[in-house]
Amino acid sequence: MTGLVLPKIDRSVLKRKDSIVKSLSNFTNANNILSDPDELKPYETDALSVYTQIPLVVVLPENTDEVSKILKFCYDENIKVIPRGAGTGLSGGALPLQDAILLGLGKFNKILEIDYENKCVVAQPGVTNIAITQAVQHKDFYYAPDPSSQLACSIGGNVAENSGGVHSLKYGTTTNNILGMEIVMMDGTICKFGGKSLDQEGYDLMGLMCGSEGLLGVITEVIVKILKKPQVVRAALIGFPSVQDGGDAASAIISSGIVPAGMEIMDKALIEATDNFSKAGYPRDAELLLIVELDGTESEVNASFEKVEEICKKNNCSSLKLSKNEKERLSFWLGRKSAFPACGAMAPDYYCMDGSIPRGKLALALVEIKKLSQKYKLPVANCFHAGDGNLHPLIMFDGNNKEQLRKTEKFGADILKLCVRLGGVITGEHGVGIEKRELMCEMFNSNDIQQQLDIKKSFDDKNLLNPGKVYPILRKCAEQGRVHVHKNKNKFSDLPRF
């Protein structure tokens, strides 16, 4: 944030802005090209919001052919390109660059085909996550991954970040729910990976693209799996008098063999904030709240909830409320899905972190985060995808206070380092972007990162597609002590030069 380092600006591109804008009009309608400062302002950041940068120009293509021609032009002219979906990302992955074209995919917003026989939907990348479920729910189908931002986030962005959601425990993240995709390479080549069948020959290039954060290609079409709605879905609100009791209960539920459709943890600060916001009826006397959802047949759900109740009582639960109907179940989730906006009442700004840890370390992680909160004298509220160990601490601060901003950066970095020490990783679903870029060396050594950079180079040999994201610019990995992505002042012969 305060010490953000961006790739070196290509001044020659800035000087050519007028001619670049004119050339782009050969590939798409002139109305799809934004170049005035007032037009560019809305695109200066993503939902992370603490990072800002005005792009050179914004282009809003309308079809794959236009994307291909624009990328080919940029490749030939050595112009950087930043792909952008709905802009709901939380790691700065779509942050523009001053000398780069921002390629917005907001006009790719159509569902192209609904195939119930093969249980899939073909959608353009700008279609919102929830729109896929809305398009098929009248036939009792739905799309499983459900990020909290599903009302606004786009399916293309979900693929780029491998987004998850509260139901990822049982049904997987985005990578487990896509069948195929169309992408455009940086040189304009159009490729298709996968299809409507479950198995495809050759390398798993879809797996490589999913979570690649816009560094390997621009997604222009996605085929996603849809599922039949289960016979019965119920949720329970379970309060605990301590963090340890709730964390132990969450681990015990999974180890018992039960696989909830979703299982979430919220600490006391977030219980109060979300209940004030959504009036979900959360137990305010609890130190920790566990939301458990089960689905399946009537007998299966009832039997599993009996086991859940038994486990939670053994772990000293203070309250247990089972949803009586669909309206009440949705109200339970409304509070959790409103967690981020609810925190707006707690401080002028908040910084949402994203890391993953082993499930058995949930209670320990919460205890350690509380210690860090006391160290930095900044409040924090916590929510977890408890089933898969994906944690989302929200650090409260005032963005106008530079000292608080600096401390927030350090606090967030310490949380992610904690995740690694506990056997986890620095991101669960938000991606690395620029937020966690310099922390990649906490997880990977020089050889690891070099291998990933070599893959990037095979797709984008000039390093024009979303440069400056994911991989360290200044940080050295301790094992071999070499900088991986250079600024021109770092003249090391063994550095990758795209």
The arithmetic mean of pLDDT across residues 441-453, rounded, is: 94
pLDDT tens digits for range 293-342: 999 999 999 999 999 999 999 999 999 999 999 999 999 998 888 888 88
* Banded pLDDT at 483 (limits 50, 70, 90): very low
> What's the pLDDT at 475?
54
Q: Is the pLDDT of residue 490 over 70?
A: no
The string of DSSP codes covering 373-387 is HHHHT--EEEEEETT
Fold designation for 11-104: 3.30.43
Fold type of domain 232-340: Alpha-Beta Plaits (3.30.70)
498 close to 460: Cβ distance less than 8 angstroms = yes
Residue 39 reports pLDDT greater than 50: yes
Tokens of 223: 């085929």
Average pLDDT, the chain: 91
The per-residue pLDDT for 478 is: 52
Q: What's the confidence (pLDDT) of residue 476?
A: 62
% of the chain residues with pLDDT over 70: 94
- For 291, the token pair is 């939301």
- Every domain of the chain and the residues it spans: 11-104, 111-228, 232-340, 347-421, 444-498
Query: What's residue 480's pLDDT?
Result: 41
The CA distances from residue 193 to 125, 178, 284, 392, in Å, are 15, 11, 49, 32
Under CATH, what is the fold of the domain 111-228?
3.30.465
- In this predicted structure, the answer to whether residue 50 has a pLDDT above a threshold of 80 is no
- Domain 232-340 and domain 347-421 have a common topology: yes
Alpha-carbon distances of 204 from 50, 123, 181, 441, rounded to whole Å: 35, 21, 12, 26
pLDDT (tens digit per residue) in 237-271: 999 999 999 999 998 999 999 999 999 999 999 99
402 in Cβ contact with 390 (< 8 Å): no
- Residue 3: predicted pLDDT: 59
Q: Convert the pLDDT of each residue in 74-128 to its tens digit.
A: 999 999 999 999 999 999 999 999 999 999 999 999 999 999 999 999 999 999 9
**Residue pLDDT, tens place only, 366-424:** 999 999 999 999 999 999 888 788 999 999 999 889 999 999 999 999 999 999 999 99
The CATH code that applies to domain 347-421 is: 3.30.70
